[in-house]
Amino acid sequence: MKELRLMKGNEAIAEAAIRAGADAYFGYPITPQSEILEYLAEQNTEEAGGMIVLQAESEVAAINMVYGAASAGRRVMTSSSSPGISLMTEGISYLAGAELPCLIVNVARGGPGLGTIQPSQADYFQSTKGGGHGDYRLLTLAPYSVQEMADFVALGFDLAFKYRNPVLILSDGVIGQMMEKVELPPALPRRQTGEPWATTGKTPDRERNIITSLNLDALKHERHNLRLQEKYRQMEAEDTRYTTNLCHDAEYLMVAYGASARIGGKAVEMAREKGVKAGLFRPVTLFPFPSKALYDAAKNVKGILSVEMSAGQMIEDVRLATECSVPVRHFGRYGGVVHAPGEILEALLQLAADSGQPTACRKGTPLPADQAQ
Amino acid sequence: MEVQEIINEKNLVYQPSKLLTGAAFNFCPGCGHGTVVRLVMEVVEEMDIQSDVIGISPVGCSVLLYDFYNIDVIQAAHGRATAVATGLKRVLPDKFVFTYQGDGDLAAIGTGETIHACNRGENITVIYVNNGTYGMTGGQMAPTTIPGMKTSTSPRGRDVATMGHPLRITDIVASLDGACYVTRQAVHTPAAVRKTKRALRTAFENQKLKRGTSFVEVVCSCHSGWKMTPLQSNRWMEENMFPYYPLGDLKVMNGQT
Ligand SMILES: Cc1ncc(C[n+]2csc(CCOP(=O)(O)OP(=O)(O)O)c2C)c(N)n1
Ligand code: SF4
Ramachandran angles phi, psi of B17, nearest 5°:
-55, 140
Q: What's the pLDDT at A362?
A: 39
Closest Cα to atom 13 of ligand 1:
B134
Ramachandran angles phi, psi of A32, nearest 5°:
-105, 50
B61 touches ligand 2 (CB under 6 Å): yes
Q: What's the pLDDT at B257?
A: 56
Closest-CA distance, B56 to chain A, in angstroms, reads: 9
Q: Could you tell me if A26 and A130 lie in one domain?
A: yes
Q: What is the CA radius of gyration of chain A?
A: 21
Q: Is A252 helix (H, G, I), strand (E, B) or coil?
A: strand
Annotate B185-199 with three-state secondary structure: EECCCHHHHHHHHHH
Expressed in angstroms and rounded, the spacing between residue B138 Cα and the centre of ligand 1 is 10
Q: Is the pTM of this model over 0.90?
A: yes
Provide CB contacts within 8 A for B142, sequence distance 6+. B103, B104, B107, B108, B131, B132, B133, B134, B151
CB A329 within 8 A of CB A303: yes
Domain boundary among A211, A238, A265: A238
Mutation test residue for ligand 1: of B27, B105, B130, B237, the one with most atoms within 8 Å of CB = B105
Q: What's the pLDDT at A357?
A: 60
Closest to B91 (Cβ–Cβ): which among A24, A201, A203?
A24
Can you give the pLDDT of all 373 residues of chain A as single tens digits? Answer: 789 999 999 999 999 999 999 999 999 999 999 999 999 999 999 998 899 999 999 999 999 999 999 999 999 999 999 999 999 999 999 999 999 999 999 999 999 999 999 999 999 999 999 899 999 999 999 999 999 999 999 999 999 999 999 999 999 999 999 999 999 999 988 776 789 999 999 999 999 999 999 999 999 999 999 999 999 999 999 999 999 999 999 999 999 999 999 999 999 999 999 999 999 999 999 999 999 999 999 999 999 999 999 999 999 999 999 998 999 999 999 999 999 999 999 999 999 998 756 454 334 444 444 444 3
Q: What's the pLDDT at A353?
A: 92
CB A201 within 8 A of CB A173: no
**DSSP per position, A91-114:** HHHHHHHTT--EEEEEEEB--STT
Ramachandran angles phi, psi of B30, nearest 5°:
95, 0
pLDDT above 70 as % of chain B: 99
CB contacts < 8 Å between A and B, how many?
Answer: 125
Ligand (nearest to CA of B102): 1
B27 touches ligand 1 (CB under 6 Å): no
| Spans in chain B with pLDDT lower than 70 | 255-257
The domain containing residue A332 runs over which residues? 242-371
Provide CB contacts within 8 A for B145, sequence distance 6+. B132, B133, B151, B154, B158, B163, B166
Give me the CATH number covering residue A219: 3.40.50.970
Helix extents (H) in chain A: 9-19, 34-42, 45-49, 59-71, 82-97, 124-128, 146-163, 173-177, 218-238, 258-273, 291-297, 314-322, 341-353, 369-372
* Residues facing B185 on adjacent strands: B218
B224 touches ligand 2 (CB under 6 Å): yes
B115 touches ligand 2 (CB under 6 Å): no
Closest to A68 (Cβ–Cβ): which among B52, B83, B112?
B83
Give the Cα separation of B158 and B216 in Å (integer): 26
Q: Could you tell me if A173 and A281 lie in one domain?
A: no
B-chain residue closest to A50, CA distance? B91
Q: What's the pLDDT at B256?
A: 64
Q: Could you tell me if A149 and A33 lie in one domain?
A: yes
Across the interface, whether the CB atoms of B92 and A202 are under 8 A apart is answered no
Q: Could you tell me if A233 and A264 lie in one domain?
A: no
List the strands of the sheet with A210-211, edge to edge: A210-211, B72-75, B53-57, B96-102, B125-130, B213-219, B179-186, B248-251
* Residues facing A80 on adjacent strands: A106
Q: Could you tell me if A106 and A36 lie in one domain?
A: yes
Give the Cα separation of A133 and B230 in Å (integer): 38
Give the residue among A310, A303, A366 at the shortest CA–CA distance from A338: A310
Across the interface, whether the CB atoms of B87 and A68 are under 8 A apart is answered yes
Domain boundary among A195, A214, A238: A238
Ligand 2: nearest atom to the Cα of B138: 1
Q: What's the pLDDT at B253?
A: 85
Give the Cα separation of A109 and A335 in Å (integer): 8
Q: What's the pLDDT at B255?
A: 65
Q: Could you tell me if A233 and A328 lie in one domain?
A: no
**DSSP per position, A143-188:** --SHHHHHHHHHHHHHHHHHHTSEEEEEEEHHHHH-EEEEEPPPPP
Mutation test residue for ligand 2: of B219, B223, B226, B241, the one with most atoms within 8 Å of CB = B223
B61 touches ligand 1 (CB under 6 Å): yes
Determine how many CB atoms are found less than 10 A away from the CB of residue A296.
13
* Residues facing B154 on adjacent strands: B151
Give the Cα separation of B157 and A48 in Å (integer): 57
Domains in chain A, number: 2
Q: Could you tell me if A183 and A316 lie in one domain?
A: no
Q: Could you tell me if A231 and A291 lie in one domain?
A: no
Give the Cα separation of B21 and B68 in Å (integer): 5
Q: What's the pLDDT at A192?
A: 67
Give the Cα separation of A228 and A226 in Å (integer): 5
Give me the CATH number covering residue A292: 3.40.50.920
Q: What DSSP state is assigned to residue A263?
A: H
Q: Could you tell me if A348 and A323 lie in one domain?
A: yes
Q: Is B18 helix (H, G, I), strand (E, B) or coil?
A: coil
Closest Cα to atom 7 of ligand 2:
B222
Determine how many CB atoms are found less than 10 A away from the CB of residue A295.
15
Instruction: Find the chain A residues whose C-beta atoms sit closer than 8 A to any C-beta of B.
Output: 23-24, 26, 52, 54, 56-58, 60-62, 64-72, 74, 76, 90-91, 94, 98, 199-204, 208-214
Closest Cα to atom 10 of ligand 1:
B60
Q: Could you tell me if A246 and A312 lie in one domain?
A: yes
Give the residue among A54, A62, A51, A56 at the shortest CA–CA distance from A95: A62
Q: What's the pLDDT at B5?
A: 83
Expressed in angstroms and rounded, the spacing between residue B226 Cα and the centre of ligand 2 is 9
Provide CB contacts within 8 A for A219, sequence distance 6+. none
B142 touches ligand 1 (CB under 6 Å): yes
Q: What's the pLDDT at A368?
A: 46
Give the Cα separation of B230 and A200 in Å (integer): 38
Give the Cα separation of A233 and B96 in Å (integer): 39
- Residues in chain A closer than 8 A to B51 (CB atoms): 201-204
Q: Could you tell me if A194 and A324 lie in one domain?
A: no
CB B127 within 8 A of CB B100: yes
Q: Could you tell me if A162 and A89 lie in one domain?
A: yes
Across the interface, whether the CB atoms of B74 and A67 are under 8 A apart is answered yes
AA identity, residue B252: V
Annotate B148-183 with three-state secondary structure: CCCECCECCCCCHHHHCCCCCHHHHHHCCCCEEEEE
Q: What's the pLDDT at A338?
A: 95
CB A357 within 8 A of CB A324: no
Across the interface, whether the CB atoms of B88 and A68 are under 8 A apart is answered yes
Our CA dihedral for B123, B124, B125, B129, rounded to 10 degrees, sits at: -130
Give the Cα separation of A194 and A73 in Å (integer): 7
B-chain residue closest to A65, CA distance? B87
Closest-CA distance, A229 to chain B, in angstroms, reads: 22
Closest to B72 (Cβ–Cβ): which among A57, A90, A202?
A202
Domain boundary among A238, A270, A291: A238
Structural domains in chain B, CATH included, are: 27-252 (3.40.50.970)
Expressed in angstroms and rounded, the spacing between residue A359 Cα and the centre of ligand 1 is 51
Expressed in angstroms and rounded, the spacing between residue A237 Cα and the centre of ligand 1 is 39
Closest Cα to atom 9 of ligand 1:
B60
